[in-house]
Each structure stands twice: as C-alpha cells, then as structure tokens.
Amino acid sequence: MRSPMPGDDSKLRILSTTDLSGIDIPLTDVVNVVEGAYRALADGTSVTPPKLTVKPADGRSVAYAMLGRDGTRAAVAVKTSYKHGLKEGRELQHYYTALTLYDDTTGLPIAMMDCGRIGALRTPAVSALLARECAAPAARTALVIGTGTQGRLALPFLLTTLPELDRLLLYGTHPDGIAAVRERLAAHFPDRALEVVTELRAAAADADIVLATAGPLTPAAVEADWLRPGTLCVLVGYGIRPSTLHRADRVIATSAAQMAVTGTDMADAHGRLPTVHAEFPQVIAGRASGRAGPRERIFAYNSGLVVTDIALGHRFAELAIARGLGTEVALWR
C-alpha cells in the first residue's frame, strides 16, 4: 500500500486543465499504471460498480457517473462526464469530465481534477494493451480511424506495446486532426512514417489492427467482409460497422456490463449483442485468452473502466501536489 498523500478535511485541491498540462508522464509509465489497475481489478483488490448513464430521448447529450475503489492505492473516486451536442459537429459540442479522489487510508480528500487529459492518455493505453494481448502474432500494420482526442496518441501507444509494427495508416477527414496525429507521432517516434489513406476499404484490407476512434459523424464504416483473417478490431468511438462485432470469432470487452449499456449502437436488427468471450482484466491477468489462433478475427470493445482513471489520476495528483500545483478551496468550511 502506498503512503497517504497530504490532505485537509476542510479543503479540496482543484487541479485544472492548465495545472495538469505541464506534467509529463512517459507513455511506458502510463501503460504500466493502466495495466496494474486492470490486474488489481482481476485480483479483486479494486472494485468498480456499473456505470450510470443518462441520455435524453432526442439524443442531444449523454452523461455518465462512475464510482470506484483502487485497492493498490487505497483511493476512492467518482468520475463524471457530460457531453452535449452529439448530433452536431465537433466545434459545436460541449464536453466536461472531472475526477474527485479521496484517500481511503486517512479519510481525507486528495483532489478534484479535470479528467480530460487522463482520459486522453488512458484510453489509447488500453487500446495498446488490447492490441498487445489480442493482435495476431505476425501483426505489422495498424490502421487508426479518427483524428480527435482519442486518435492523436493512438499510434505512439501502439508502438509502445508493439514496437514491431512497421506500417502505420491513418484515415481522417479533419486536416488539423491529421496534422496533430503527425505531430504526436513525430514527438514520440521521430523515425516512424505515417501514411494518410483515403481509400478506407483497401487500408482496412491491409491492416492487422483496426482502431476506430472517430466521432459519430464520421463517414468511415468498415465492414467485416473488408477484413482479412486474423484482424483485430478495437472500438473506442466510431468507424467500424456492427458486422465487425457480429462476425468476429472472439469478442473481448473491458467490461461486458458497460458494453451492454454503451454499445447498443452495435446491436443487430433485433437489438442483441453477441456474447462476450472474455473480459480484458482477466486476459491481462492470464486467466482468459485474448486469442486462440492466428486466423481468428477479434473484436475488442474499449469502454474504459474508472479504476484506470483512478490509478492514472492518482499519479497525476502525486506529481501535481509535489510541485505545489492547484488551488485549494475551503469547500467544507
């Protein structure tokens, strides 16, 4: 168990987007923190109840609330997310997410922080771990669909867990997003080249790993019959069709319960989702298989679990507090 962090029973430290933006954490450290969180969940040390979701009938917005306990760090946290304008372009959408951490050893609050950067690191780290565990052994080509928040670090994280990848493909429709993906890749792996593709079907046919991170308005719609045997599809956002799930040989989910709640857009004509063969924490722990053979087509659903946000958020809080960052608010005085 880690040493408790300093706290005050009348004050809450607020860590803003700006506070967290200056904290650098190597990609390998992010991967290790996230992997450790999954192992603790598989071991029963950590706990994450089902996600709560609220969405109006017209689909204009969606809100989530997630509670969890990290047994490794003895920390309890609540994460909330709210996104408005789901049917609008990216520039008209509003998105807010926050994580509030408490020290379960001292009983004191640790911090409340913007969770945007944590999610932007955690999600591609999970995808990279899914690729490490579920991609075919000879995988060399990765295709990322989407250039938004979740797409921009997707390739650097994939190269962190699968350095043998030698062809990196990107499908995107936003020039600024494509430029951002190039910039992030060059910052972390300056010797690696990026291929921007416009023929999505041909790119999908070449790919060993297809990572769909695009927004709901994307024109991308990869079908199962575009894919060759052995392909791994990882769904984070949008960009692949339900056929990639329903015709997969094996389905892996970070959480089957969350997939049943947030993955309904991938249901068949009868509103059904296929059976999840294994949950990813059990795969990470070696208690379940992510792949049984090199020709299996695998579908992996990456919905994120709050225990990974807690673990990574706790690390950010440690570094921020050590630097004296944040603003203390006498919330309970």
Q: Which residues, 6 or more positions from 2, have their beta carbon under 8 angstroms from its beta carbon?
A: 72, 73, 74
Q: How far is CA 181 from the centre of its chain?
A: 17
Q: For the segment 265-278, what is each residue's pLDDT rounded down to a tens digit? A: 999 999 999 999 99
pLDDT at 6: 67
The mean per-residue pLDDT over the stretch 276-296 comes to 96
Q: Where are the alpha helices (DSSP H) in 71-225?
A: 116-134, 154-161, 175-188, 200-206
pTM of this structure:
0.92
Q: How confident is the model at residue 7 (pLDDT cuts 50, 70, 90)?
A: low
Joined tokens for residue 223: 């079908």
Are 111 and 8 in contact, with CB atoms under 8 Å apart? Answer: no
Task: Give the DSSP per-residue string, 180-219.
Answer: HHHHHHHHH-TT---EE-S-HHHHHHH-SEEEE-B-TT--
pLDDT at 21: 93
Residue type, 136: A
What is the chain's mean pLDDT, rounded? Answer: 95
Mean pLDDT along residues 189-197: 97
* Distance in angstroms (rounded) separating the CA atoms of residues 223 and 237: 15
pLDDT tens readout for residues 114-136: 999 999 999 999 999 999 999 99
Instruction: Band the pLDDT of 98: cuts 50, 70, 90.
Output: very high
3-state helix, strand, coil in the chain (%, to 5): 35, 25, 40
* Cα separation, 168 vs 161, whole angstroms: 14
310 contacts 77 by C-beta, under 8 angstroms: yes
Give the least confident one: 6-20, 23-37, 147-161.
6-20
The CA distance from 226 to 314, in Å, is: 41
Comparison of pLDDT for 112 and 216, the residue scoring more:
112
Q: Which of 46-55, 80-89, 318-327 is the most confident on average?
A: 318-327
- In the chain the domains, ranked by start, together with CATH numbers, are 12-118+307-329 (3.30.1780.10), 123-304 (3.40.50.720)
Residue 1 has pLDDT above 60, yes or no: no
Instruction: Find the Cα–Cα–Cα–Cα dihedral 159, 286, 134, 136, rounded to 10°.
Output: 90
Task: Give the amino acid at 296.
Answer: E
Looking at residue 120, what is its pLDDT? 93
| Whole-number pLDDT of residue 86 | 85
